[in-house]
Amino acid sequence: MSGAAACGAAVKADAYGIGARDTVMHLGNAGCRDFFVATWAEAEVLMPWLGDASISVLHGVADEDIAHAVPSKARPVLNSARQVARWREAAPGRACDVMIDTGMNRLGLSPAEACSGLLDGLEIDTLMSHLACADEDIDVNERQRQLFTQAAATLRARRLSLANSAGICLGPDYAFDLTRPGLAIYGGIPRAEAADHISPVVTVEAQVIQRRKIAALETVGYNRMFTAGRETELAILNVGYADGYLRSFSGTGRARIGDVFLPVVGRVSMDLTAIAVDDVEIAEGDWVELDYDLSAASAQSGLSQYELLTTLGSRHERIWS
């Protein structure tokens, strides 16, 4: 869907919770040569696994970053006039990336600042901006694209980059030279156009610590949120909000065994979650799959697909297949 543009990858926040090192290795083997992280610490961890790929630091360069940034192979994404001046002084002639703010009002130079001469003489590898509402069909997307195109026409950069996962779905006019998907790489559906092209990446499983039976009118968990209407079989799973399975799944989440869905009952606690398992063959020590299809789990929990991934805790063993 990126057409002739190169397809990079946002691997910040431990590759959206998936595991950045293994993600970089797998995507590198698939041909990805452009990675994006938020901080210099994230970039440093990934350096041994990059090979000939590049990595850019989206937060730019602060005073305290200079000691790490100057010897690093990573490029800063310069977002402010102060960052531009800091990079000129610390690393004259070194390549950088530049962010132009075209309507997100988060990070980046205004188009007027960028075109004022502030960037003259900089070795800009990638000039980029970020779409605010690419998951919606509204005029601001085209307005941002036009502002970016106009600014880019007056600046010298090796490549232009605008589209995130949802932006790629807006069509080839948004692709420019390099796209920067994040969510879509990890199985998220940014727009309806992507639904038939993206498969789940993450399967989350938990182990049964105990199977137990409760009588009618007994309650489950903190604050007695669930009351059994009849005798009920429960399986207690070794997963909770410390693992990213948040309390918003209380009474709404599901586990599954084959084609059978098993409801979460009671409140999700820090390390434990109860599911109802009447008439299901499941015993202590067995593993069950949580219903973590991102679209479905988002509807169950009220969390965004991004949050569902990035909150996955470090206690999960990540097994690649």
Give residue-wise pLDDT tens across range 284-319: 999 999 999 999 999 999 999 999 999 999 999 999
DSSP 127-193: EE---SSTTS--THHHHHHHHHHHHHTTS--SEEE---HHHHTT-GGGTTTEE---GGGGT---SGG
Average pLDDT, the chain: 97
Q: Are 188 and 165 in contact (CB under 8 A)?
A: yes
Task: State yes or no: pLDDT of 321 exceeds 90.
Answer: no
Give residue-wise pLDDT tens across range 97-118: 999 999 999 999 999 999 999 9
Mean pLDDT of 66-93: 97
The pLDDT of residue 35:
98
The pLDDT of residue 279:
87
Residue 284 to residue 70: CA distance in whole angstroms: 54
Choose among 300, 261, 291: nearest CA to 277. Answer: 261
Question: Is 241 a catalytic site residue?
Answer: no
With b for 16 or more beta-carbon neighbours within 10 A and e for fewer, the 18-41 pattern comes to bbbeebbbebbeeebbbbbbebbe
pTM of structure: 0.94
Mean pLDDT of 169-187: 97
Count CB neighbours of 139 within 10 A: 8
Q: Are 288 and 262 in contact (CB under 8 A)?
A: yes
Catalytic residue among 12, 174, 186, 241: 12
Residue 266 to residue 252: CA distance in whole angstroms: 10
Structure-token match 């690393």, residue found? 91
The pLDDT of residue 99:
98
Catalytic residue among 16, 73, 174, 222: 222
Choose among 210, 227, 223: nearest CA to 272. Answer: 210
What CATH architecture applies to the domain 205-310? Answer: Beta Barrel (2.40)
Domain ranges of the chain: 6-194, 205-310
Cα 34 to Cα 126, 149, 187, 237: the distances in Å are 11, 21, 19, 39
Task: State yes or no: pLDDT of 217 exceeds 90.
Answer: yes
Mean pLDDT of 23-42: 97
CATH number 3.20.20.70 given to 6-194: no
Which tops the pLDDT comparison, 1 or 113?
113
Q: Are 114 and 170 in contact (CB under 8 A)?
A: no
Question: Is 222 a catalytic site residue?
Answer: yes
The pLDDT of residue 200:
92
The pLDDT of residue 54:
98
Same CATH topology for 6-194 and 205-310: the answer is no
